[in-house]
Chains A and B, each alone.
Chain A
Amino acid sequence: MTFPEFFAENWTDVLDHTVAHAVLVLQSLGLAVLIGVPVSVLTYRTGAPRAAVLGVAGLLLTIPSYALFGLLITPLGLGSAPSVVALTLYALLPVVRNTIVGLRELDPAVIESAHAMGMGRMRVLVTIELPLAWPVLLTGLRVATQLLLGIAAIAAAVNGPGLGNLILDGLATAGTPFAVYLTIEGVAGIVLLAVLFDALYAIVNRFTTPGRLGA
């Protein structure tokens, strides 16, 4: 059986796994943003708390992924839950770091002007600071997405969803011709998603950063 014949037979499986993979990554990214951005906003002006947040987020990234997924089985069981949690933890560093850097890099004169115009603290944050930090934040999301697309393949090891299942099946049936086909399908799916997401980010960036186009 050639690869095209094999693919023709199981392409629906590949498609399902690809969609599940993308959903898993997006869920984790969403959670990382929901946690990471508020934490960054609360700590970016401070000294020690900011350093602590960045330190913890950095530390999380150094835990070997296989180990982290495994460790989470105890509290969370198998399946989606440990997968989403583990990926969220990995996404935190790029999200938090870029949010903090983006907010701290802003021209203090612009922020002071906003206050001097009579904007309240919250309004300055939402209408001035975050929009201005957005390009840097977006870069953080882009990095986090690429990172998660790769690591998400490990989710299959804890019965999680995604293209990792194809790769894992391939490894389990090593020696048979199908093993290679399955692995290729898994890897190709991840690469395809990476390219798609990157294009998407480029488009989002292009259309959400006014005033920088003329720069």
Chain B
Amino acid sequence: MPDVTRGTPEGGAADRTMIRLDALTKRYPGQSEAAVDALTLDIPAGHIVTFVGPSGCGKTTTMKLINRLIEPTSGRVHLDGRDVTEVPAPQLRRRIGYTIQQGGLFPHRTVADNIATVPRLLGWDRRRVGERVDELLHLVGLDPKTYRRRYPKQLSGGQQQRVGVARALGGDPQVMLMDEPFGAIDPLNREALQNEFLRIQAAVRKTIVFVTHDMDEAIKMGDRIAIFGDNGRVLQYDTPERILADPAEGFVTEFIGSGASVRRLSLTRLESVVLPDWPTVEETSDGETLRAAARGSDRDYLLVLGDGRRPVGWLPVTGEDRRPGERLPLLSPLGPRDSLFDALDHMLTVNASAAAVVDGDGRYRGVVEMDTLRELINTRAAGAPSSSDHLQEA
């Protein structure tokens, strides 16, 4: 994937401002309240910024001001340091990917022609356009041979959305605008699409403005979240951690709703957490070794490791004399990409106070306990990390 993997490099350049909104205001004639009111916001390169808020809060209007689908009443938009009005709107828009609910695909054009829209406008030759289409279809997980010639109506909602994302990436834009892109997808597929999109973004590192009315989606997708109140005012603009840990008074607290502490758990992946050690025994150990291990620990369970240090079961330790009992099976350990929320969910589901964690190869890494979670919640509430890249911390 030569083109799509090109993006903002890690490190210093990551904090460069890609989109700067400067006292941006939009007033519609005949309306006393402004749709967007003197909005100033810096959007860093290579990150996803989610605009979230109730309907009619101006988040979509703000997004459309960036690619000039709507022209502002006053104020400026700078894209990569240059005023967006310096070039004609169509030229500007070819450099900004755009995708909306259900993709907004052209129903009379094939999937390939839809994706080729911007490359053709940019005057790429046939071969380059063809290669780009296949590359993008691969990227969004659709087999080019199967889907290239299909029409949008022959695709499921989720597939249309993938094609919409591929089309938005067509001209390899630095910036993407996405308006409720997964809004029309059922919850199960939406989660899959969100995860897949985050995977794509990890590869392409675009600067993305992502509009949603769903706080959970905003938290999940956003490196930063801008919470919109009425008439296009941003009430809080920060990382998901800080917004959940320290929401601005009033509206934001209300909008986040209850359960902020639990939601924060979903922001931290197990791979970034230091896990306490746990007494383990080999599956092949004899009775004497087991008894010695049981006596040497104050835990109520020993973790049994099988081949290749894979956790295979729990060995309960009972009685005054700490006798090992019957082994209990361990069905699915938690992986490095699971979040603390998944860990909590897992523990509640199997009614345990601890869960085994493995690394990417399925080898034992440690055990996460209910107490560990409680500690993590408390420390994070006290001093939320200021890094804008919550997936990469620790």
B118-151 contacts to A, CB under 8 A, are: 118, 121, 150-151
- Indicate if B91 sits at the interface (CB-CB under 8 A): yes
Task: Digitize B94-118: 1 where CB-to-A-CB distance is under 8 Å, 0 elsewhere.
Answer: 1110101111111111100000011
Chain A at the B interface: mostly helix, strand, loop or mixed? loop
- Looking at the assembled complex, report how far the CB atom of A98 sits from the nearest CB atom of chain B, in whole angstroms: 17
Q: Which of A79-87, A89-97, A108-116, A173-181 forms part of the interface with chain B?
A: A108-116
Report whether A112 and B154 are in contact in the complex, using a CB–CB cutoff of 8 Å: no
Report whether A109 and B104 are in contact in the complex, using a CB–CB cutoff of 8 Å: yes
Assembled-state Cα–Cα distance A194/B353 (Å): 81
- The residue of chain A having its C-beta at the shortest distance from the C-beta of B108 within the complex is A211
A106-140 contacts to B, CB under 8 A, are: 107, 109-110, 112-120, 128, 131-132
- Indicate if B67 sits at the interface (CB-CB under 8 A): yes
- Looking at the assembled complex, report how far the CB atom of A202 sits from the nearest CB atom of chain B, in whole angstroms: 19
Residues of B within 8 Å of A, CB-based: how many?
32
Which B residues touch A117, using CB under 8 A? Answer: 93-94, 98, 117-118, 121, 167, 170
Report whether B100 and A112 are in contact in the complex, using a CB–CB cutoff of 8 Å: yes
- The residue of chain B having its C-beta at the shortest distance from the C-beta of A208 within the complex is B108
- The residue of chain B having its C-beta at the shortest distance from the C-beta of A110 within the complex is B104
Given contacts A210-B151, A211-B152, whether A118 and B104 have CB atoms under 8 Å apart is: no
Residues of A within 8 Å of B, CB-based: how many?
22
Which A residues touch B118, using CB under 8 A? Answer: 117-118
A-to-B contact residues, CB < 8 Å: 107, 109-110, 112-120, 128, 131-132, 209-215
Leading 8 A-B pairs by shortest Cβ distance: A113-B104, A118-B94, A211-B151, A116-B98, A118-B93, A109-B104, A214-B154, A118-B90
Q: List 17 A-B contacts (CB under 8 A).
A: A109-B102, A109-B104, A110-B104, A110-B105, A113-B105, A116-B96, A116-B177, A117-B94, A118-B90, A118-B91, A118-B95, A120-B90, A210-B151, A211-B108, A211-B109, A211-B152, A215-B153
